[in-house]
Amino acid sequence: MMHSEKEFIFGMHPVMEAIKGGRQIDRVLVRQGLRGELYHELMKMVAELEVPWQVVPVEKLDYITRKNHQGVIAWLSAIEFQNIENILPRLFEEGKEPLLLMLDSISDVRNFGAIVRSALCFGAHAVIIPEKNSARISPDAVKASAGALNTYPVCRVKSLARCLTYLKESGLKAVAATEKAREEISAADLRGPAVIILGSEEKGISRELLTVSDLQVSIPVTGTIGSLNVSVSAGIILYEVLRQRSSTGKRH
């Protein structure tokens, strides 16, 4: 797979200049075993400015570019991330009932883009993702969102569990969508301020998030395939929230 050089920066100095210059970095990839003064300077900067990073084998870097990357590549984000702690109070001030989506371990860019498109269509106010184990916000993700990602609020947080605790303390109901739940979405009360948690088909929602969720709900399926694609699940659950809110005349 060929990557456009508009999607990434490579080399120690260019990456450091990009971070210092305030470029929106999706994540920094660092070659396994990299050492030296510049490496330590880079890692200090990454830590201070809370830029996501990961250690990868040199083969991964060579796959992205054959040019002299010096063991460091930074993926650029196609969007500007926002802060949930700025968005939530504003929603309450505007008299709205917050409806948020929290995505746990959803790494497929097309699924991610499709979820954001559904979120915009059904009136969810923001999507929350973790720094690690989430889809890279690439041009492909923007394309899959039908352009919604260009304007839609995406909030990236260090810890989903800590963020969920903050949302619950702020008065939001935490609703985990899992096929293992006994209660179906149509029977659950999804009204009021809420955060809907979705996990990937492979990993599902982490035990940590399931433990602190207020409600676990499933979508009934009658076909022979056991589970729905996560972006389809997102659309169905958001529609059900909208239907329940509309039936009580609530603003959203």
pLDDT digits over 176-205, tens only?
Answer: 999 888 899 999 999 999 999 999 878 889
What pLDDT score does 229 carry?
A: 87
Task: Categorize the per-residue pLDDT at 172 as very low, low, confident or very high, splitting at 50, 70 and 90.
Answer: very high
pTM: 0.82
Helices (H), the chain: 12-20, 37-48, 58-64, 84-93, 109-121, 139-144, 160-169, 207-212, 230-247
Do 48 and 100 fall into the same domain?
no
What pLDDT score does 84 carry?
A: 96
Q: Between 6 and 35, whose confidence is greater?
A: 35
What pLDDT score does 224 carry?
A: 60
Do 137 and 232 fall into the same domain?
yes
In the numeric block, which tokens belong to residue 233?
């699940």
Task: Categorize the per-residue pLDDT at 135 as very low, low, confident or very high, splitting at 50, 70 and 90.
Answer: confident
Contact 22, 4 (CB under 8 A): no
Do 107 and 222 fall into the same domain?
yes
What pLDDT score does 4 carry?
A: 62
Contact 54, 31 (CB under 8 A): no
Whether 252 has a pLDDT exceeding 60, the answer reads no
Do 110 and 153 fall into the same domain?
yes
**Residue 118 belongs to some domain of the structure:** yes
The predicted-structure confidence for 98-115, as pLDDT tens digits, reads as follows 999 999 989 898 999 999
Final residue of a structural domain among 44, 59, 76: 76
CATH code (residue 200): 3.40.1280.10
Task: Categorize the per-residue pLDDT at 225 as very low, low, confident or very high, splitting at 50, 70 and 90.
Answer: low
Do 128 and 196 fall into the same domain?
yes
Do 134 and 23 fall into the same domain?
no
**Residue 126 belongs to some domain of the structure:** yes
**Residue 206 belongs to some domain of the structure:** yes
Give the chain's mean pLDDT. Answer: 89
Do 72 and 88 fall into the same domain?
no
Task: Categorize the per-residue pLDDT at 240 as very low, low, confident or very high, splitting at 50, 70 and 90.
Answer: very high
Task: Categorize the per-residue pLDDT at 153 as very low, low, confident or very high, splitting at 50, 70 and 90.
Answer: very high
The mean pLDDT of 218-237, rounded to a whole number, is: 82
Range(s) of the domain holding residue 108: 84-247
The mean pLDDT of 202-209, rounded to a whole number, is: 90
Do 132 and 178 fall into the same domain?
yes
The mean pLDDT of 55-77, rounded to a whole number, is: 91
Do 90 and 72 fall into the same domain?
no
Final residue of a structural domain among 19, 43, 76: 76
**Residue 1 belongs to some domain of the structure:** no
d(CA 103, CA 189): 21
d(CA 123, CA 10): 38
First to last CA, the chain: 41
The mean pLDDT of 58-85, rounded to a whole number, is: 90
Pairing assessment for the beta strands 72-76 and 53-56 based on DSSP bridges: unpaired
Q: What is the number of domains present in the chain? A: 2
Do 72 and 89 fall into the same domain?
no
Q: Between 154 and 131, whose confidence is greater?
A: 154
